[in-house]
Structure 1
């Protein structure tokens, strides 16, 4: 019964609401509240801080949540190993994804997983590189897409080098160029991608000591492209996020090159289901790359 309570508290912490947790788990709100109160009584201290704006974990609750996730992960691994011995692949895998991966890769990968391994449930959680790394380290996801960060706490496998391209509008003096020297971007109105963690564009600009005139910093590529469409600046974006540009915009290669490294990070002792997901992903990417040659 405690495992069910651990799952309930984990969901409450994830959505910061008893009501939303109850809906997600198919339970009543009173059942969720009772489970949390029961855990608090069992442990002898408060796990949840309740307020008008929602619920948050106490510091003790944060500590216990990390331990509960380890227990739940161990239980999931145990079930997956048993299924693996029987020759049946089943279980759940939680993946941290960036927006360009969720829109370009995941639909096909999930379709393949559903067709070949209907017993595997794939859950996707979208965030930036920093958030995904934190989810991986805290146990909120089993695997996640990162841009080259390495850590002793997980294994990182490089999947693809995604070229960084300069995006300009038809009003830009750079529009007709076949390639752009990055030093020509000095002092130009620029729209910078904004997110926590290693920013590939900033790293590239710093590498060549280029300081553009940053007018805006936006986290969503759609907003950046809209700004460029209105002739408010230029930007540098990964190729994967700029599919189907309108004719008034161009994606132009940089003379110096430049790319972001996309890879999959997993726990060192990954579950059979997580390994199967990574195997399917790698095989699909290999096939896609072969078809482009």
Structure 2
């Protein structure tokens, strides 16, 4: 068993197939398939049920996947600590960001960071919250921007706290309201983000508390497209205040959402047991320095 084999297995699970995993780890599909087979032979148990074009973890596979994430993370920590001991000059910032809000929150930070640390390489990964958590657990990124609350085993530094706003077509019967809740919107179709976006979970949990079962008419990972769909009258959407204001135009109405426990709290998270390299610590310091006093 070696780390290359474990990485191949992890990516087959994460990417959902051998060919997709091969692209990520820069190996051929047959090499990835052989690596998984070798791992199964070493462990003496099948790890994947191959169902047509899909692969599902067996009970042994669940254990192997969980342990593989830990081993890969420990290897990264070992290399990072040794590099620090040697006084590594260049360094690498490995950070994972979600598609929602990362431009508004972090674009200026990247500019400042690059000007201060021109020799630090930046490896940016963009995924939804679920995949970012897995990347963090596996040590593939040192920091990830996640919505609070974060999972046990992660430490975090708050970045931004924003209330949600309802985004309605200008012609909606409730477009002139000063505040709105999910009970008011029970009969309106919802436009949500794609599966895996943490903002969806906030919205659905609040609907459940109110006894509202929303009818989802569309999903997208692009804020501009979601706002355009709202303006076209397809449904209503929900955005953090700063993003809603950035995308405001004549075809939509923005109304504060009067719902407790739906605020958008985003933080930079890292594994509590991890060794944070200097490049990551410098990013955390910069985030604290550039935080808005109104947050």
Compute the displacement of 1:112 (Å).
Answer: 5.8
Q: Which residue of 1 aligns with 2:290?
A: 287
Q: Say if 1:80 and 1:90, in contact at 8 Å, map to a contact too.
A: no
- State the number of aligned residues: 286
How far apart, in 1, do the equivalents of 2:259 and 2:69 lie? Answer: 45
Q: How does 1:29-40 map to 2 (within 5 A)?
A: 29-40=29-40
Q: Which one is further off, 185-194 or 32-41? A: 185-194
Cα deviation code 1:233-269 (max 9, x no counterpart): 4444212443333321132345789732112332112
CA contact (8 A) 1:190 1:212 kept: no
Q: In the alignment, which residue of structure 2 is the partner of 1:245?
A: 248
Which residue does 1:185 correspond to in 2?
184
Q: How much does 1:135 deviate?
A: 5.9
Determine the structure 1 residue equivalent to 2:268: 264
Give the Å deviation of 1:284.
Answer: 4.0
Q: What aligned pairs does 1:54-203 form with structure 2 within 5 A after superposition? A: 54-88=54-88, 90=91, 93=94, 95=96, 97-107=97-107, 109=109, 116=117, 118=119, 120=121, 122-128=123-129, 132-133=132-133, 142-175=142-175, 179-180=178-179, 182=181, 185=184, 189-191=188-190, 193=192, 199-201=201-203
The 8 Å contact of residues 164 and 240 in structure 2, kept in 1 or not, is answered as: yes
Deviations 1:127-152 (A, max 9, x none): 24x56556656767654333321544
- Secondary structure in 2 aligned to 1:270? coil
Between 71-80 and 277-286, the greater mean CA deviation after superposition? 277-286
Structure 1 window deviating more from structure 2 (256-265 vs 12-21): it is: 256-265
Distance in structure 2 (CA, Å) of the matches to 1:32 and 1:256: 48
CA root-mean-square deviation: 4.0
Equivalent pair of 1:142/1:266 in contact (CA under 8 Å): yes
Which stretch has the larger CA shift, 160-169 or 105-114? 105-114
Q: Return 5+ residue gaps in structure 1 as ranges.
A: none
Match for residue 18 of structure 1?
A: 18
Q: 1:22 to 1:148 in 2, by over 3 A?
A: closer
Q: 2:9 — aligned with what?
A: 9
- Distance 1:6-1:181 versus aligned 2 partners, 3 A rule: closer
Q: TM-score w.r.t. structure 1 length?
A: 0.74
Provide TM-score, normalisation by structure 2. Answer: 0.73
Secondary structure in 1 aligned to 2:274? coil
CA distance in 1, matches of 2:12, 2:77: 22
Q: Are 2:161 and 2:266, in contact at CA under 8 Å, matched by a contact in 1? A: yes
1:47-87 deviation line (CA, Å, top 9, x unaligned)? 34444314444332331232222222111111111111233
Instruction: Give, in whole Å, the separation in 1 of the partners of 2:252 and 2:41.
Output: 61
Decide whether the 8 Å contact of 1:188 with 1:233 is kept in 2.
Answer: no
| Structure 2, unpaired ranges of 5+ | none
